[in-house]
Structure 1
Amino acid sequence: MSSRMPDGRSSRVREPLRPKLGASLTSAEGSALDVVDDGSYRALEYKGADLSFRDAGAVEFEGCRFVETTFSGTRMRRGGFSDVELQRCDLSNMAATSSTMLRTSVSAGRLTGMTWSECAFRDVLVEDCRADLAAFRFSTFKNTVFRDCTMLEANFQNADLTGTRFERCDLSGAQFSGARMAGARFADCVLLGIGGVTSLAGVTVRSRDAQGLLHSLAGALGITIED
């Protein structure tokens, strides 16, 4: 399936590439259960691990699976997740800067208050997650899908959301000021009270979703709506 960008270019809409995990993963134990500067962790499976409140830079996770693992309160700089699965994990209040997610799936997780600013996401699926108050300011998204997520007051200020898809998400009160959104798509989403509504130029919105934009658009244009 493809759509047409405002400048006439064709933008292909497809599912994000799935993580590439090895046939067998090694159970994480010992030093692998810590997160340290310049740490590199490959082909590991973390189950019920506590990686919360760490503070590290240049950390790389590659080909790993995390199940019911917590990163709550962890701070990461120039870190990376590539070919990673995060299942039922707690990333609440995690803070990452200048970090990346590549071919990563995040499912049934808690992302409340998570901050990934000035980061890059490519081939990422975020599904069935609670991500209220999550912040992605100045981040770049390529071939990324948010599906069945609660994203109340999420912040995408100045993010590049070109081609990003939001499916069946509650984005009430979300902030999109200064975002680049050409080719982005909203399907069966709640868009009540979103900020930066004028940044939605070039997006595709289903007709039933557009009703939720009415008051935000009117406010941005100085229009008063009376009963």
Structure 2
Amino acid sequence: MPSRPSGTGSSGTRSARSKAPAAPKDPVAPKVPAALTPAEVPRHDLDDDTAYRSAEFRSADLSDRHADGLDIKGCRLLDTGFSGAAMRRASLSDVELERCDLSNMTVRASTMHRARVSASRLTGMSWSECSFRDVVFDGCRADLAGFRFSTFKNAVFRDCAMPEANFQNADLRGVRFEHCDLTGAQFSGARMEGARFADCTLLRINGVTSLRGVIIKSRDAQGLVYSLAGAMGITIED
């Protein structure tokens, strides 16, 4: 008699198994050299088509600057102010920003790769049509921050206050939001398959139907009830 193919049950068909979601991949840490050259303003200012390598900006005031084609790599920025600055076609790679002020900063068509932004103020900043890869935002104030039409890969938002943040039409597939306040955040048109929410506040979310395919903790789901009901025309009565 012919042998039965391996891996089949008595009915000759392979038993179906549910596939568990893939484990999230941690962002690659920035590679910042141990020895950095102190940067001094105005000698080291933000100008068009300027490149900085292995530099440390400490307590620098770079607010209200305008730069096109800026290239920053292998640098550390501490207590540095970018409030009101505007950048286009900027490249930031292997960088660490700590306790920086990026409020009302405007950035377009730029990239951030292998970066960590921690304990910084991002209120009202706008990074639109940008690319973020292997980036961690940790302990930041980011209310009204905008990331419209931006793409994220291996990115994490952790312990961030982000009420009314705008992710309209952003690619957030696989992004992790951990311990974040996203009250009133905008997700309309976003791609979010595989994005994860853990211990987040998700009240009054806009564009809630774009959350198709996300992974969420059961205790966080309660905050989505009213947003989902509103999107579906459901009236909730006491």
Fold similarity call, TM over 0.5 = yes
Paired position in structure 1 for 2:94? 83
Unaligned runs of 5+ residues in structure 1 are 1-7
The answer (yes or no) to whether the contact 1:145–1:165 under 8 Å persists in 2 is yes
Paired position in structure 2 for 1:223? 234
> Which of 89, 95, 103 is matched with 2:114 structurally?
103
Cα deviation, residue 63, structure 1: 0.3
Worse-matched range after superposition: 94-103 or 26-35: 26-35
Unaligned runs of 5+ residues in structure 2 are 1-18
The answer (yes or no) to whether the contact 1:32–1:41 under 8 Å persists in 2 is no
The answer (yes or no) to whether the contact 1:45–1:65 under 8 Å persists in 2 is yes
Aligned CA RMSD, in angstroms, stands at 1.3
Paired position in structure 2 for 1:135? 146
Q: Which has the higher contact order (CA 8 A, sep 6+)?
A: 1
> Which of 66, 72, 75 is matched with 1:64 structurally?
75
The structure-2 alpha-carbon separation of the partners of 1:24 and 1:200, relative to structure 1 and needing over 3 Å to count, comes to same
Paired position in structure 2 for 1:164? 175
The structure-2 alpha-carbon separation of the partners of 1:31 and 1:67, relative to structure 1 and needing over 3 Å to count, comes to same
Q: Partner of 2:194: helix, strand, or coil?
A: coil
Look up the equivalent residue of 1:196 and give its one-letter code: G
Q: State the number of aligned residues.
A: 220
Paired position in structure 1 for 2:159? 148
Distance 2:76 2:21 in 1: 34
The 4+ residue runs of structure 1 with deviation greater than 3 A are 8-12
Paired position in structure 1 for 2:105? 94
Cα deviation, residue 15, structure 1: 1.7
Cα deviation, residue 11, structure 1: 4.3
Paired position in structure 2 for 1:24? 35
Distance 2:122 2:230 in 1: 30
Q: Which has the larger radius of gyration?
A: 2
Q: Partner of 1:63: helix, strand, or coil?
A: strand
The answer (yes or no) to whether the contact 2:41–2:60 under 8 Å persists in 1 is no
Q: Partner of 1:65: helix, strand, or coil?
A: strand
The answer (yes or no) to whether the contact 2:196–2:215 under 8 Å persists in 1 is yes
1:54-87: CA deviation from partner (whole Å, max 9, x where unpaired):
1110001100000000011000000011000000
- The two structures have a TM-score, normalised by structure 2, of 0.90
Cα deviation, residue 212, structure 1: 0.3
Look up the equivalent residue of 1:19 and give its one-letter code: P
Look up the equivalent residue of 2:35 and give its one-letter code: S
1:214 equivalent to 2:221? Answer no
Paired position in structure 2 for 1:43? 54
Paired position in structure 1 for 2:84? 73
